[in-house]
Amino acid sequence: MTKRLIFLGPPGSGKGTQAQKLSEHHQIPHVSTGDILREAVAQQTSLGKEAKDYMDKGELVPDTLILNLIQDRLSHDDAANGWILDGFPRNVNQAAFLEELLIKLNQNADCVLNLEVPDDVLVERLLARQRKDDNEETIRRRLEVYHHNAVPVIDFYHQKQTLKTIDGNQEMEQVTKSLSEAVS
């Protein structure tokens, strides 16, 4: 059965880990925008070179470029039976672009999964990762930016009645179980 899923959730919510588990379970690709960008840059594709120019300047890669990368990725044979989009869309413009892209590809998202975790828990989790650029102030700022952009995206999918919110503040196995139940 085809599964096309969009994963939303703040940094530290565990969406990457959970997306990977669902990807393996349903044998569909876990499509992370970060991974796509890094791969395109490493392979020096024309889109990758264009993205690298923005990244080298410390700028965000434009929506249209990300969409072209996603369109290319969703056109691969391994995505014919489904996919999990992780980290995209990040704003309503991207969500609207994605809708148009899926229509063009004659596909649709089966459901949008939103992992909810309280900010204090996210800060704790992210500080435990101990990345060099992670301090509480930086993390709280990243979460602020995430929420500012994510709330309208969550509303966008809520209005389309495709949104399922999952409590991500549970044991990892319980989150996996909740996600599996939500998509079955």
Known catalytic residue: 38?
Answer: no
Known catalytic residue: 140?
Answer: no
Distance CA 39, CA 58 (A): 18
Per annotation, catalytic residue among 49, 131, 141, 177: 131
Q: Identify the H or E element spanning 120.
A: helix 119-129
Per annotation, catalytic residue among 49, 129, 141, 177: 129
Instruction: Extract the runs of DSSP E, i.e. beta strands, from 21-90.
Output: 30-32, 82-86
The amino acid at residue 52 is: K
Known catalytic residue: 129?
Answer: yes
Q: Is the peptide bond before 89 cis (omega within 30 degrees of 0)?
A: yes
Tokens of 114: 């939103």
Per annotation, catalytic residue among 3, 4, 15, 73: 15
Per annotation, catalytic residue among 3, 4, 21, 90: 90
Per annotation, catalytic residue among 3, 4, 21, 142: 142
Tokens of 180: 């599996």
Known catalytic residue: 21?
Answer: no
- Give the position of tokens 């391994």: 78
* 87 burial type by CB count under 10 A (0-12 exposed, 13-18 middle, 19+ buried): buried
Instruction: Extract the runs of DSSP E, i.e. beta strands, from 9-162.
Output: 30-32, 82-86, 111-116
Active site residues: 15, 90, 129, 131, 142
